[in-house]
Amino acid sequence: MDDDVLTTLKLLIIGESGVGKSSLLLRFTEDTFDPEQSATIGVDFKVKTLAIDGNRAKLAIWDTAGQERFRTLTPSYYRGAQGVILVYDVTKRDTFMKLENWLNELETYTTRNDIVKMLVGNKIDKDDHEVDRNEGLKFARKHSMLFIEASAKTKDGVQCAFEELVEKILQTPGLWESENQGQKLRLGDQEQGGGRACGGYCSIP
């Protein structure tokens, strides 16, 4: 059914609680904004197919809870991700100050070091900015990340953020090719039991 899909990519959204991670994802996948979005418990998951330069990439996006207490659980989902979106709230300085911590956590738990990182400053529709755009830029440059300011509420920058990230991943062939055969995320498709310990080299009866 996914014959025309070039590859499946695993993306991750992280950042402090309440910065608007789930809202950004909802805006990207369903193009809506739900003010009644409740705080995420554990992890949430969404899928979207994106066409980039004529190639269709299927995105499996894991939205994680920002709350301190869930953090022991969520890093397990960092495994195998090819791209990560790190979000802060431009109207809350403390969410920006915590970015360094998030990067450390990312470093500790991701399984690959060539993961593509994007920094998103969210809620630019609001007036009371506490973090200047240049500060975001500076941080992103320092940590070799992509950077954009966005608003889940007004749509600004959201689509662009995801597209840029995916494009960058696709430009790094080593990042997705090998993972492509290995990615076991088959939706609605039962995994054959028993065979997981055996590779393709020797046939199991």
Partner 1 sequence: MAADSDPESEVFEITDFTTASEWERFVSRVEEVLNDWKLIGSSAGKLSPEKGEYTSGTWGEKCQDINFADFKFYITHHFLKQECEKDDEKDKVEEDAFPLAMQDLLCMNNDFPPRAHCLVRWYGIREFVVISPGTNCEAIISESKCNLLLSSISISLANSGCQVPMFVQIQQKWRRMYAGECQGPGVRTDFEMVHLRKVPSQYNHLSGLLDIFRSKIGCTLSPLPPVNITIRFTYILQDWQQHSWPQQPPDFDTLLGGEVGGVEFGKIPFGACEEPISELHLATTWPHLTEGIVVDNDVYSDLDPLQAPHWSVRVRTAENPQCLLGDFLSEFFKLCCRKESTEEVLGRGSAEDEGKENSDISSALNKLTEPVAPVPISKLSVSNMVHSARKHIRRHRRIDESPLNTDILNSVLLYVFPDAAVEKSSENSKNKPAQSNACGKAEQDKNSDYNLFLQLKSAPIDSLTYRLALCVCLVNYNHGGLRAVAHLWQEFVLELRYRWENNYLIYGLAGGPPDLRCCLLHQKLQMLNCCIERKRARDEARKVLEESKERERKVSGSGQNGRPASESATASASKKEVSPGKSWDSWSDSEDEFFECLSDQGEIEAPHTEGEKDGSKSKAEGRLHPYNNMTLLNSTEPLYIPVTQEPAPMTEDLLEEQSEVLAKLGTSAEGTHLRARMQSACLLSDMESFKAANPGCVLEDFVRWYSPRDYVEEEVVDEKGNTVVKGELSARMKIPGNMWVEAWETARVTPARRQRRLFDDTKEAEKVLHYLAVQKPADLTRHLLPCILHAAILKLKEEEAVEDIPSVRKTIQQATSQASKLLHTPNYDYKKLEDFINQLMAMETVITRARSLKAKFAMCEGEKVEDTDELETFVSSLLEEPEVVVVGAGQGPAGSIIHRLFVNAQRLADFTSDEAALLAPLEEDSGRDRKQTAGSNKVPDFPPPAGREILVRTCVPRPAPYSKALPQRLFCVLMREEFRLAGAFSSDTSFF
Ligand X SMILES: Nc1nc2c(ncn2[C@@H]2O[C@H](COP(=O)(O)OP(=O)(O)OP(=O)(O)O)[C@@H](O)[C@H]2O)c(=O)[nH]1
- Contacting residues toward Mg ion, per CB under 5 A: 21-22, 40
Nearer to Mg ion, 21 or 123 (CB): 21
Ramachandran area for residue 155 (φ above 0: left; ψ -120 to 50: alpha; else beta): left
Binding site for ligand X (CB under 6 A): 17-23, 35, 37, 39-40, 65-67, 122-123, 125-126, 151-153
Distance CA 158, CA 58 (A): 17
Contact flag: residue 92 with partner 1 (CB under 8 A): yes
SS3 content of the chain, % helix, strand, coil (to 5): 35, 25, 40
Please report how many Cα atoms fall inside a 13 Å half-sphere around the Cα of residue 31, on the Cβ side. Answer: 2
Choose the one of partner 1, Mg ion, ligand X, none that binds residue 134, judging by a C-beta under 5 to 8 angstroms depending on kind: none
Distance (Å, whole) CA 152 – CA 83: 19
Residue 141 C-beta: closest distance to partner 1, Å: 26
Question: How far, in Å, CA of 107 to CA of 124, rounded?
Answer: 28
Q: Is 43 in the site for partner 1 (CB under 8 A)?
A: yes
- Contact call for residue 70 and partner 1 (CB under 8 A): yes
Interface residues for partner 1 in 169-188 (CB under 8 A)? Answer: 174, 178-179, 181-182, 184-185, 187-188
Q: Is 197 in the site for partner 1 (CB under 8 A)?
A: yes
Distance, in Å, from the CA atom of 177 to the CA atom of 17, rounded to the nearest integer, reads: 33
Q: Which does 192 bind (CB under 5 to 8 A by kind): Mg ion, ligand X, partner 1, none?
A: none
